[in-house]
Structure 1
């Protein structure tokens, strides 16, 4: 009986470790406050690994939330605080077909019109944006890959979306005033 209980305890401990590794908590440290996000490695493994590689490299340090649209989203992770474009790794495969939805507080990969063009930029949905969800594997249906959710700091997202916006750098509009700086993004343990 003692051996069975020991084995059961080991199995439970191992299972908890596996489940814990499926969620990766990060903290986005901004000039407006911190946003904590749980990244979902189970549903979006390539996307999470992509972001973690940028975090490990310190890529996001002193970048900006350069695009802010109230009632839509805040976007960052590709431009310096001087609004200069940063060089990135090659694009990753779009994982929007993972069942996760673009709802308030979800984090998703920004991309161009090419469904498989996401690199470092991400956005946090300010509201439910179901029109960004995956509908099919056609060019128009791919959607935007959600890979996590905000666990605290939506008040910071709300504060950012309430900032006035205008032109800045190469952008004719939607740049928050003052510019919101991503001081760093760190993995929390």
Structure 2
């Protein structure tokens, strides 16, 4: 490559590499949830995520990643994501949430790590994937939504859902200033709820 010219996506490439190697500091252990939280009903494979700017509808794919979908649905039932910030948002790449900044009422550090469920769902605009450390079997409670095609993530991260409505609201989230995408004053999730298919 002549001179100091960099590819147009050089900055994004660096961000993505750091995303892959990002440390989540997750701990193994027994899953402890309140007794009132039951296993999510398999008929509810849609989620409504309410932001201050509007509502995002998410379709889940339990046939592709059953354990990851079950974990997300269980956490949604526990209202774990209510008030959760989108703490990492990288322009042209992804928005990540699930790292609590306040008490959630759930000991998320003791959630068992999930074995990877790599599948055929491509990481394109609107795909949901589970965040993890460098170890492929370390996902727990953080997830991200890709804002553009990210082929390097295919078969390397577990994809489990897709935004079907409201992707423009994800595009409108406050971006991070650093290469890691850390947002100083992040937008938050007002609520996440499972909804029946007939209600979508």
TM-score w.r.t. length of structure 1: 0.73
Mapping for residues 74-93 of structure 1, pairs under 5 Å: 74-80=95-101, 87-88=108-109, 89-93=111-115
8 Å Cα contact 2:81/2:98 also seen in 1: yes
Measure the CA separation in 1 of the matches of 2:99 and 2:50: 16
Mapping for residues 50-129 of structure 1, pairs under 5 Å: 50-80=71-101, 87-88=108-109, 89-96=111-118, 98-129=119-150
Measure the CA separation in 2 of the matches of 1:129 and 1:164: 18
1:38 CA drift (Å): 0.2
CA radius of gyration, larger in: 1
SS in 2 for 1:53: helix
Measure the CA separation in 1 of the matches of 2:57 and 2:182: 23
1:158–1:144 Cα change, 3 Å: same
1:165 and 2:176 equivalent? yes
Unmatched tracts of structure 2, length 5 or more: 1-41
Measure the CA separation in 1 of the matches of 2:68 and 2:180: 28
SS in 1 for 2:45: strand
Measure the CA separation in 2 of the matches of 1:56 and 1:73: 24
8 Å Cα contact 1:40/1:147 also seen in 2: yes
Q: 1:174 is matched with which residue?
A: 181
8 Å Cα contact 1:60/1:77 also seen in 2: yes
Q: 1:154 is matched with which residue?
A: 167
Q: 2:191 is matched with which residue?
A: 184
Unmatched tracts of structure 1, length 5 or more: 1-20, 135-142
Measure the CA separation in 2 of the matches of 1:51 and 1:102: 18
SS in 1 for 2:86: strand
Q: 2:10 is matched with which residue?
A: none
Whose helix fraction is larger, Structure 1's or Structure 2's? Answer: 1
